Structure 1
């Protein structure tokens, strides 16, 4: 394999890590609060707002129900508005983030569901405010589940980023399609798949280690 191809593979790997990393960070920053809101605004919860909860649930479900490849195409005008282009790694980050936010939110909500209601009632009986309950009870108690959810999200984003290559999103998916599939080079395709598998294994192992550390605490 030529040095030029090795450089392309290296650059594509960095592009994929960039796309997944940035979209994952933004999705976590917006998805975790959304998941908390979905939980605390339920009827009977500490900030019960049934109408707000229903509206947030509908928006979240719509976001989760749209296949990623369709989402990428559907929001091309919005992507152009945000980054000035509909192709390339920066453009791919927009649909990746939008797809990941509701995914994170539901996983966080699921993690919060595992918390015993007795803990919340105990905090309320001691005069804790809703904010204090969220920060000092809900999030610490659900920390392991939240980390697991974020790990699943990152792994999913890796597969989504590969799909983004089908429409000029850059990264390993784009490399595999252009040089592996279109040029009938099975070696490039194999290397692309191996790198993606290694990425998934690496992030999953890191997430598992963080969960064990959080549960230990």
Structure 2
């Protein structure tokens, strides 16, 4: 199981939110590229990046720090937030991003997801952000009546690389991930599922790995707070 250290970007800084609330922001590093280098030095194989401002704006906002991270780090990175058209997808992949994460457009324009996955095999993931089992969009600000599993099933034949499943009510709250819902989704579809939201301890990582079906986990606040030691976690997950 791959552990993805998360760098959430707001106003050019590495931050963490609570439940996706932009008004509940903790700044962890004024230099996101330095933070990324620290994660790489600890041995991470991937980086998970989120343009928080972009998710609300519907277009890239924190392009400069993302580009700085891509230039500074040799490991692949995936990015979500404000990626809602083919031009933006192509631009990011041309700049060295390994994988784009499409969230809002997965609901509003599923044809774009299919087109992008066909055009860029292995480089398109879908971000399913859920509140009580229903997908939320536009930086989690808008509720939908779309159920997570239904949307996931609709992309089974699209060739997407992964689904990033986030339980919004767990995100940034250090209360543990929704393992049951994540495992259920991973068993329901053939697409690799990455857990996100609330991954806050070594026990959480062990429990996710023990399901045998979850392919990865994203953690942010726990790494910044020291609740999870990245180097130790990476070594443990190899076993």
After TM superposition, the score normalised by the length of structure 1 is 0.23
Higher helix share: 1
Higher strand share: 2
The structure whose Rg is larger is 1
